[in-house]
Structure 1
Amino acid sequence: MMKNFKVMKKLKKYTYLLHRYLGIILAPIILLWSFSGLVMMYVPYPKLAEVERLQLLPEIVDFSCCNADFYEQILPVNIQGLSIEMLNNEPIIKLESTRSGNTSYHLNSQTLLAEIDQQMALSIAKAALPSGIESIENIEKIEQDQWTVYSKYNKHRPLFKVSFADEESSQLYVSSKSGEVVQLTTAFQRNWSWVGAVTHWLYPTFLRKHTSLWYWLVIWLTIFSLVLLMTGVWLGIKQLKKRKNKPLSPYRGMRLVHHWGGVIISAILFSFLLSGLLSMNPWGVLESKRFSTDSVLGKQAGRLAVIDSLTNLPNTLWQTGFVSLKLSPWNNEVYWLAADTKGAVIRYDKNFSISKLPQTELTAAGNKLSGGADITQGLIWQEDEYYYAHKDNIELPIWKVERVNGESTELFYLSPSTGEMRKNIDNNGRIYRWLFKALHRWDFSQSIRQRPVWDFSLVPFMLFLILFSFSGCYIAVQRLRSKF
């Protein structure tokens, strides 16, 4: 009995020491995570969505082009992507290929688009933001900065960053390879993102550019934070004792706040830390194994068929105000998606006649996706547990295909107007939805996601969590002062 008592006493002592010194190191990190998480509820990391990119494009004008020989010369054997847009007041055709990479051609002169220079980048920026033509402050050529750290920008580097002296202090980024506008930020987004997303994700450029170092730093900081939390909970519960004519907690002041705060909010903090850890997919525990649906849906059109369609491109098509024309094969046949500045899309067949996608073809596509497994499919008009809008817009109605193969369930969401795959979720993706998105963002259901319900549900917890984290920092500082 005495031996067990000594063991427990030693265990408690070392747990205290572990909690104390982990707290000195990690309490500021948890405070920053808590405050920045609150900021991110209202100001996300700057991102130029496709519909916003379309708003920056001028309407495609009528042009004289092109014969079959030209298309025969430039089109790759395996066309991964093809689109027509305006660039610097000229129509261009952009091509994507797994073999030859990305290339663009002027359609009027039928010449290869050279690498974008500073003068052309400036002209592109002026066309994208005409209101800021007279207020350009600066243009510089950069490899990377805080708002272009993602790997998706690699194919566009170096970038031209154009700074405007407009009301929002806009900064626009132009690809030196394609001339495409790839990012647009405002001072409001940048300033708040420094204390929001950049802090929350530990995303300063000097760290984020070392991907492996950043990745493992976040993982281990989170793991040690979980250890800090669990030791604190154990100690906090052990300290709750009934004392005659005395409160349950032996602490006063900020230590009392920390003690009761830890007991009350530990489950919430644990869910945030665990879900944050899982968002990093440590050691590949939630690696998705989705198969490519392109071949099943026939997303590869024949090269000759594409050439034949392009040579019959009618001039009247450009009278409808489109800013983008994109190849979107279906059942290995040529189809086109024409978009305007509002993101509204019209689907055309190879002869450029409007072609709506019949439900019979969506059903056939669902049967192909089944791979012999049991499926249920149909049009849904409302969000479900895996396809929903949180802060982004989504397309509704949507064609949903659910494939069940033994213990494996995979979900496919196809646009009923274009046939494009909007979302594809496997078993691990479904787990990720609940263990990360639900726990970290509190989007458990549509009723909770609705604002202001979501705000009133989450903000009080976030404020209490900030107070609790601050109390930990206060105690850590007091401890350091007593030592030094």
Structure 2
Amino acid sequence: MINLRIFDTCIASPVPSVSEVAGEGARSNGKSRSFGEAFERAILLIHRWIGIFACVLFVTWFISGVILAYVRWPAMDRTERVNVLKPIEWSSVGASPTAALQALQLQDFPKDFRLEMSGGKPVYRAIGWDKRERVATEAQTGTAAIEQPPVSGEAGLAIVREQLSAPAATLETADLERDQWTVTGYFNKHRPFHLVSLNDEAGSKYYVSVATGEIVLDTKRKERFWNWLGAIPHWIYFPIIRKHEGKWTWMIYGLSAAGIFVAISGVWIGIKRVRLSRRYSNGKRVPFSGWLRWHHILGLIGGFFLCMWVISGLLTMYPGGFLEGRSLTKTDFERFRGVSAPRFPRVDFNALGSVAGDARRITFNYMAGVPILVLEYPGASSRVLDARSLKPITYQSPLYRQATEALVPEAKLLSMSWIQDGDEYWHTGFASKKLPVVRAIFDDQVWFHIDPEAGAVIDVMDRTARVDRWTAVGIHDLDWYWLLKKRPLWDFVLLVTIIPGLAISVTALVIGFKRLRKSVEPDLAFEPESFEDSGAEESGANLVHTSTARKAMVVFSSQTGTAEELAEQLRTGLVHARMEVQKRDLAELSPDDIAQCELALFVISTTGEGEPPDKAMAFVRRHMKQPANLVATAYAVIALGDSEYPKYCQFGRQVDAWLMQSKARRLFRTALVDKGEDAAIKTWVQNLEASLERTIHVERNELFSRWNLIDRTCINEGSAGEPILRINLASPEAGHHWLPGDIARLQAGITWDEYALGQRSIVRDYSIASVETEGCISLLVRLARKPDGSIGTGSGWLANAPIGTSMVLRIRSNPGFHPAPGGSPAIFIGNGTGYAGLRAHLMERVAHGSGRNWLVFGERNRTTDFVCSEDIKAFSDAGRLEACDLVFSRDQPVRRYVQDALRERSDNIRHWVEQGAYIFVCGSQQGMAPGVHSALQRALGEEFLQELAETGRYRRDVY
């Protein structure tokens, strides 16, 4: 059923029909037109719903791709591996290269054969043509060699400590098969690994191959962090997926194909939606508005870039070998070397030591049949010697040309060109490539690249590979040498080409989210209509008259008591108008109850981010998923909210939309009341009077009293945040009563004398932090600042008014946050000034010795923001605070909040709730309240937490 609703919603969106798109000249053949319409609709629907998923990928790929352009995947190239080696100890080398080759039982001269130090001793390393790396260590006789056994964890640690001069290094993991940084198939020849941590400031970690004892990879904390944001999401390099090479490859093919379809179909749909001559009925050349219009325009502008980027990304995977150039083969190496047998002349290492100095590695090789030694030094420098005479061989030697010509004996060598800094086909923009390099071009269109400093062929590039450089690789990575040389122009071009595709994807996600929300969320099943900013229509406009109504039901849904208070005032007014009236909480009703009423008046508040009051959630879940049959009921809705929140009066709107869908008769447009605005309420009542054709007196004059400011103390001196003030107010009149959880309503900025003369001001609500027995009303008020830096009206008045000022205040009941039954356990959760709403509860319970109490409180720093320290000590001394969790977010390197403490205490929360505990939450709507709600859902389950809210055991006062 949900899927059907999704598609219904899509079809109903503002998209022109196929006949409109086809234009006036469209052929009227029924079958052709029907097929075209079905085809276009199918493409459209697939584009929309696959597009949501694809655009999540696009956004991920675009953002991670930019990061990847600057932080590459961790790797150690040949130069870096040389840099971590110690100089060769020439006097320790006894076995000859041939003896090592024999010990390794190689049938051919290996692909790579070298000598270096490892663990304080010289070792021969060889990579055979089976891609397996072997190590031969010298025997004690000094003349033979044996194949090295696997390296233990302790030996691997010793290798790192010795080669890197890192005595503080520790073995983190032994025999590690694979992890996030060794997930690729490249490391198969080295598995498993010993992972060694240097314990340095950079967070360096080194991987030692168990098979060879070689350090094959290093990672730093910084590059690991950026790769989690870059390469890993970009390439979907998660070990659980990436370790299955074949499945991972096909997954990438599938995701890329879906992205290509979405991109191309989007461009096709976008072009078809543009009318250059006959315009749409809205007078424009495109049929869309709002986010759809932006998506359409951006798609037309940036669709080409998006298509090219996604297609080129797939092509870099070389599906089916397409655009994949050939690689160097064993034959290429043997032709260049002129030798294939596994032998090498004896080398006088003592004599070589006087020539080679502090070389870190010797590579044994051949060039045109001549044995050569490649001496490698830190910093990527190297020298080539004739292995027989130990004399240097430079690029000017005829050996280079002889060996190069032998690479393609059936073709003619046209040129050998020296490339010092790179060109379009060979540069170090995105890959570690050897420079300088010599390019050999043959008349069969094959290019080879020769390392002149190592006397070795290192790359082959056929025509297909060169096309790939200019197309897939060049387009996807912007890997063009001419542009890379002109940085930061390259960086600017990168952003310019990325932004259109990113913008297309973001607008698509916004549109998709709106449609999905409309389609699958039960409380959003009935989308409210657009309302005017004024809050209500003028009196008498668009009214449905129901003068015969004699009975009415006033339905309220309230979080903090405001809606219930207004509902009572409305009920009283209707009774005085000689109507039979009942007042009911929406949470207690069913659609049948409403259907039996000829007139239902709804006073509906919205809490949090557009949410229903806690007790109303059951009604939403049980009854608002589908329309009811309310055809005999007339209704009107007054919605209370705060326009500072983006989903202003959202629940009131939803109730109105649900009533309309249920065929109830709306008397007049719903009023949106901002922060209890009297004008909007007055207009709504006037509309109700006109509809009922009777006078209704709704008494809105709140009874304020005189309260004197007797004390003001800053209780967070030195805090990094704004000051928190404890404000004490006393009334010269007796008879004021309140309960824990009640609210003080203050008319900010005016004194009692000014109020008595008829002056009125804006009203601010504050949780009462004291109990009656303390003899005064205490408030905890944080100094608020407006966006322009000026002080907030209410907090500024309380902060600066002289002591003794007579203020205008009334106590408002807040039944949704009143105390739990005396013997029940209670969990109190809050942060900052939210402690005010909890303090009164704790004071009352401690004074009466009732129930078990658990406080979870959070602030910035213990030294400056521990605003409840004295109270906690007093509660503890009285033996009435069984548990107390204090969370100071900035007292440790990693920020920690109230919700984190709750997640850690999930078992305790469940235990307390099972024993009948009530949960009270008071504090900031931004951050704390949603985080706490999520943590409680995790601990108790969403349905059970909702049940607690509906039964009054989960009570919130958030602002």
Q: Same fold (TM over 0.5)?
A: yes
Does the aligned pair in 2 maintain the 1:301–1:334 contact within 8 Å? no
Closer, same or farther in 2 for the Cα pair 1:363/1:73, shift >3 Å? closer
1:29 aligns with 2:29: no
The Cα of 1:345 is off from its aligned counterpart by 0.4
* Aligned residue runs from structure 1 range 297-336, under 5 A: 297-298=336-337, 300=339, 303-304=342-343, 306=344, 308-311=345-348, 314=351, 316-317=353-354, 320-336=357-373
Q: Within 5 Å, give how 1:98-117 maps onto structure 2.
A: 98=129, 102-107=133-138, 109=140, 110=142, 112=146, 113-117=148-152
1:252 maps to which of 268, 280, 289: 289
Counterparts in 2 of 1:238-249, with a 5 A limit? Answer: 238-242=272-276, 243=279, 246-249=283-286
CA deviation map 1:259-292 (0-9, x unaligned): 1111111111111111111111112223434554
Tell me whether 1:355 sits opposite 2:393 in the alignment: yes
CA distance in 2, matches of 1:164, 1:67: 33
Deviations 1:209-244 (A, max 9, x none): 111111111011111211111111111112223548
Alignment equivalent of 2:335, drawn from 279, 296, 305: 296
CA contact (8 A) 1:138 1:164 kept: no
1:445–1:72 distance in 2 versus 1, CA, 3 Å: closer
Once the two structures are superposed, residues 141-196 of structure 1 have per-residue CA deviations (whole angstroms, 9 ceiling, x without a partner) of 31001110122211221101112321111111000011000110111111111221
The question of whether the paired residues in 1 share the 8 Å contact of 2:208 and 2:216 is answered with: yes
Residue 418 (structure 1) aligns with: 454
Matched, 1:207 2:230: no
2:158 equivalent among 110, 123, 128: 123
Per-residue deviation at 1:416?
Answer: 2.6
Matches within 5 A, 1:380-459: 380-381=418-419, 383-392=422-431, 394-405=433-444, 409-459=445-495
TM-score by length of 2: 0.47
Residue identity matched to 2:73: Y
In the alignment, what sits opposite 2:652? none
Cα drift, residue 31 of structure 1: 1.3
- What's the CA shift for 1:65? 3.8
Pair 1:264 & 2:301 matched? yes
Select between 387-396 and 209-218 the one with higher mean Cα deviation.
387-396
The share of aligned pairs that are identical, in percent, is: 24
Distance change in 2, residues 1:98/1:15 (3 Å): closer
Cα contact 2:374–2:383 (8 A) shared by 1: yes
Matches for 1:11-26 after TM superposition, within 5 Å = 11-26=39-54
2:267 maps to a residue whose letter is V
Deviation of the 1:448 alpha carbon: 4.5
Q: One-letter code of the match for 1:196?
A: G
**3-state DSSP class of the match of 2:479?**
coil
Asked if the contact 1:437–1:443 (Cα under 8 Å) also holds between the matched residues in 2, the reply is yes
Secondary structure, aligned partner of 1:402: strand
Aligned-pair distance for 1:100?
Answer: 11
Q: Which residue identity is paired with 1:107?
A: E
Match of 1:91 in 2: 122
Structure with bigger RCO (C-alpha 8 Å, 6+ apart): 1
C-alpha deviation, 1:27, in angstroms: 1.7
The worse-fitting range, judged by mean Cα deviation, of 68-77 and 253-262 is: 68-77
Which residue of the other structure, out of 463, 466, 479, is the alignment partner of 2:515? 479
Which has the larger displacement, 4-13 or 52-61?
Answer: 4-13
Change (3 A) 1:107 1:342: farther
**Contact 1:257 1:471 survives alignment (8 Å):** yes
Alpha-carbon distance in structure 1 between the residues aligned to 2:101 and 2:254: 54
Alignment-derived partner of residue 173 in structure 1: 207
Aligned to 1:470: 506
The alpha-carbon distance between structure 1 residues 273 and 428, as it changes in their structure 2 partners (threshold 3 A), is: same
Name the structure 1 match of 2:85. Answer: 57
Distance 1:191 1:299, change over 3 A: farther
Q: Label 1:63 to 1:32 Cα distance change in 2 as closer, same or farther (>3 A).
A: same
Q: Secondary structure at the residue paired with 1:154?
A: helix
User: Could you tell which deviates more after superposition, 365-374 or 318-327?
Assistant: 365-374
Query: Distance between the aligned counterparts of 1:356 and 1:249, measured in 2?
Result: 69
Opposite residue 83 of structure 1, the aligned amino acid is R
8 A contact 1:137–1:163 mirrored in 2: yes
Q: Deviations over 1:308-347 (max 9, x none)?
A: 3335652534761111011121112210101112121011
**Partners of 2:334 and 2:340 within 8 A in 1:** no
Match for residue 44 of structure 1 among 72, 77, 81: 72
What letter is aligned with 2:138? Answer: L
Tell me, yes or no, if structure 1 residue 193 matches structure 2 residue 224: no
Of 187-196 and 316-325, the range deviating more from structure 2: 316-325
Contact 2:440 2:449 in 1 (8 A): yes
Once the two structures are TM-superposed, the CA of residue 41 in structure 1 deviates from its matched residue by 1.1
Q: How many residues align?
A: 478
Q: Is the 8 A contact 1:91 1:108 kept in 2?
A: no
Query: What are the ranges of 5 or more consecutive residues in structure 1 without an aligned counterpart?
Result: none
Distance (Å, rounded) in 2 between the aligned partners of 1:299 and 1:196: 44
SS in 1 for 2:58: helix
Distance 1:456 1:148, change over 3 A: same
Q: Distance in 1 between matches of 2:238 and 2:131?
A: 34
User: 1:398 and 1:275, CA in 2 relative to 1: closer, same or farther beyond 3 A?
Assistant: same
Q: Is the 8 A contact 1:79 1:96 kept in 2?
A: no
1:286 pairs with one of 323, 337, 340: 323
Counterpart in the other structure of 2:109: 79
Distance change >3 Å, CA 311–CA 302, structure 1 → 2: farther
Q: What is the match of residue 226 of structure 1?
A: 260
Once the two structures are overlaid, the 10-residue window that deviates more, 280-289 or 313-322, is 313-322
* Pair 1:78–1:483, CA change in 2 (3 A): same
RMSD (Å), alpha carbons: 2.6
Question: How far is 1:386 from its partner?
Answer: 1.6
User: In 2, distance between residues paired with 1:39 and 1:163?
Assistant: 26
Cα deviation, residue 5, structure 1 = 4.2
Does the 8 A contact of 1:34 with 1:469 survive in 2?
no
**One-letter amino acid of the structure 2 residue matched with residue 460 of structure 1:** V
Given that residues 338 and 403 in structure 2 are in contact (C-alpha distance below 8 angstroms), is that contact kept between their aligned partners in structure 1? Answer: no
Would you say the 8 A contact 2:100–2:136 is kept in 1?
no
Structure 1 stretch displaced more, 247-256 or 467-476: 247-256
Larger Rg: 2
- Quote the Cα distance in structure 2 between the aligned partners of 1:302 and 1:227: 53
| 1:302/1:333 contact within 8 Å kept | no
Name the amino acid aligned to 2:427: Y
Which residue identity does 2:337 align to in structure 1?
G
**Maintained 8 Å contact 1:60/1:318:** no
Distance verdict in 2 for CA 1:240–1:32, change over 3 Å: same
TM-score, normalised on structure 1? 0.91
- Please tell me whether the aligned partners of residues 362 and 399 of structure 1 are also in contact (alpha carbons under 8 angstroms): no
In structure 2, runs of 5+ residues without a counterpart are: 1-26, 521-959
Counterpart of 2:696? none
Describe how 1:337-352 pairs up with structure 2 within 5 A.
Answer: 337-351=374-388, 352=390
Distance in 2, matches of 1:66 and 1:469, equals: 64
Higher helix fraction: Structure 1 or Structure 2? 1
1:183 aligned counterpart, secondary structure? strand
CA drift at 1:303: 4.5
